[in-house]
Amino acid sequence: MTEQKRISFSPPDITQAELDEVADALKSGWITTGPKTKEFEREIARFTQADRAATFASATAALECALRALGIGPGDEVITSAYTYTASCSVICHVGATPVLCDVAPGSYEMDYDALDGLVTERTRAIIPVDIAGRMVDYDRLFTALDAARDRWTPATELQRAFNRVIVVADAAHSFGATYQGQPSGSVADFTAFSFHAVKNLTTAEGGALAWRAGAFDSDELYRQFMLQSLHGQTKDALAKNRAGAWEYDIAFPGWKCNMTDIQAGLGLAQLRRYPASLARRRAIVERYEHALADRDVELLQHYGDGFASSGHLMLVRLTGKSQTFRNALIERMADDGVATNVHYKPLPLLSAYRARGVDVADFPDAFAQFENEVTLPLHTLLSDDDVEYVAASFKRACDELEAEGVC
């Protein structure tokens, strides 16, 4: 190795443009939900080609508010992947519904679409597919599977009756800017939740959004419901109440507090203007990794191909034929070189919260197989080409050393 570098896993890419937008919000005299937030929502809808978009304090809040707007609760079932972060499933628990986990297909990070028919029941109200690493799921196969189960679709609320099959609420925390068959993430699923967390491609520090397609429902009224949900059920937000003489308000229902602020939205607006260039740089980094690791017996998630383009969020690498012991030792060796890596994800059945609900990882062998030898390499727009080469060299050297030591 050459002189040691310090390679962070996923730092935020902040420029003067972001600083200027945040300063503008701070100087404006209005820093909570206001004009910048509304502009950011409009720009998200435009960028994703969605009918509307609503911002929230997180993607988790966006997912939960979607389920609540759909009237999903106790007695209902919602399907999601066993191979995901907890937020995809915890929101199901939050609303009192029953999570139904689907194993991934062998050698895949996506749900086993062939298994869905056996999981859909008359109590199934929604499914939460997960766009891991920035690549959108195979929506053609997903919709085909759900269409085949239409005979079990029994909508229980007015909004549910606007759909003729199980409703798709996508966890697109990773896929803002991705496309599937030419359609951007946000315009394919019925509802799509995005994350703008600090480690995401586009960040508002904390924050998220929900985008949705037009349907047989009043989109403006649905947006109003989301705004009520995010602000205690209050019929006027702070900006509206702040106008002279406009103090009067009502509480429509006991809501939550998960709105986005103008400070966050200002950050997001600046990030969004730079986002096409960010996506292009991420693609260049992915391709550089692919070239650098082409001589290794590893499996790389395909980010770009015929009919799809990822947002290039995570560089997932599977160490073919290797064990957790090898993977964990590799992470430590690369850390010694100053390279931060990660693992995406521990399957939900390995986590205490879901084991306590009676979920056994033995019932999800393919999710466990994906996890046990997966490592995620740094992928962000602050990486130089030399940094990518340094990470790849560290990876190769660590693999060679561990194999020479007989670690498998």
Q: Can you give the pLDDT at residue 145?
A: 98
By CB atoms closer than 10 A (0-12, 13-18, 19+), residue 15 is exposed
Q: For residue 113, how far is the Cα from the chain centroid?
A: 19
Q: Can you give the pLDDT at residue 237?
A: 82
Task: Flag whether pLDDT at 399 surpasses 90.
Answer: yes
pLDDT-based confidence at residue 400 (cuts at 50, 70, 90)? very high
Rg from Cα positions in the chain? 22
By CB atoms closer than 10 A (0-12, 13-18, 19+), residue 185 is buried
pLDDT-based confidence at residue 238 (cuts at 50, 70, 90)? confident
| Domains in the chain with CATH codes | 16-273 (3.40.640.10), 277-404 (3.90.1150.10)
Helix (H, G, I), strand (E, B) or coil at 257: strand
Task: Flag whether pLDDT at 245 surpasses 90.
Answer: no
pLDDT (tens digit per residue) in 213-227: 999 999 999 999 999
Q: Do the Cβ atoms of 50 and 172 come closer than 8 Å?
A: no
Residues paired with 124 in a beta bridge: 77
Strands 374-377 and 315-319: antiparallel
Q: Can you give the pLDDT at residue 50?
A: 98
Question: What DSSP character marks residue 252?
Answer: S
* Start-to-end C-alpha separation, the chain: 23
Task: Flag whether pLDDT at 282 surpasses 80.
Answer: yes
Q: CA nearest 316: which of 350, 296, 341, 336?
A: 341
Strands 308-309 and 124-128: unpaired
Q: CA nearest 377: which of 328, 334, 325, 324?
A: 334
pLDDT (tens digit per residue) in 129-162: 999 999 999 999 999 999 999 999 999 999 999 9
pTM: 0.97
| Token representation of residue 142 | 């997903």
Average pLDDT on 374-385 reads: 98
SS3 track for 318-339: EECCCCHHHHHHHHHHHHHCCE
Task: Flag whether pLDDT at 339 surpasses 80.
Answer: yes
Residue 100's φ and ψ, nearest 5 degrees, are: -120, 115
In the chain, the amino acid numbered 100 is V
Q: Do the Cβ atoms of 322 and 373 come closer than 8 Å?
A: yes
| Token representation of residue 319 | 């160490």
Walk across the sheet containing 298-300 and list its strands: 298-300, 315-319, 374-377
Average pLDDT, the chain: 97
Cα 125 from Cα 146, distance rounded (Å): 11
Task: Flag whether pLDDT at 247 surpasses 70.
Answer: yes
Residues paired with 374 in a beta bridge: 318
Q: CA nearest 206: which of 260, 246, 251, 160?
A: 260
The percentage of the chain sitting over the pLDDT mark of 70, rounded to a whole number, equals 99
Q: Can you give the pLDDT at residue 241?
A: 67
| Token representation of residue 342 | 């990660």
Average pLDDT on 83-106 reads: 98
Cα 165 from Cα 168, distance rounded (Å): 9
Q: CA nearest 372: which of 406, 403, 343, 339?
A: 343
Average pLDDT on 329-335 reads: 98
CA angle 116, 159, 82 (to 5 degrees): 30
- Residue 139 half-sphere exposure toward CB, CA atoms < 13 A: 25
Average pLDDT on 102-129 reads: 98
Q: Tokens 């059920």 sit at which residue?
A: 233
Strands 167-171 and 208-212: unpaired
Cα→Cα distances 10→7, 267, 268, 308, 335, Å: 9, 17, 17, 24, 15
pLDDT (tens digit per residue) in 162-201: 999 999 999 999 999 999 999 999 999 999 999 999 999 9
Cα 191 from Cα 193, distance rounded (Å): 7
Residue 403's φ and ψ, nearest 5 degrees, are: -65, -40
Cα 65 from Cα 315, distance rounded (Å): 30
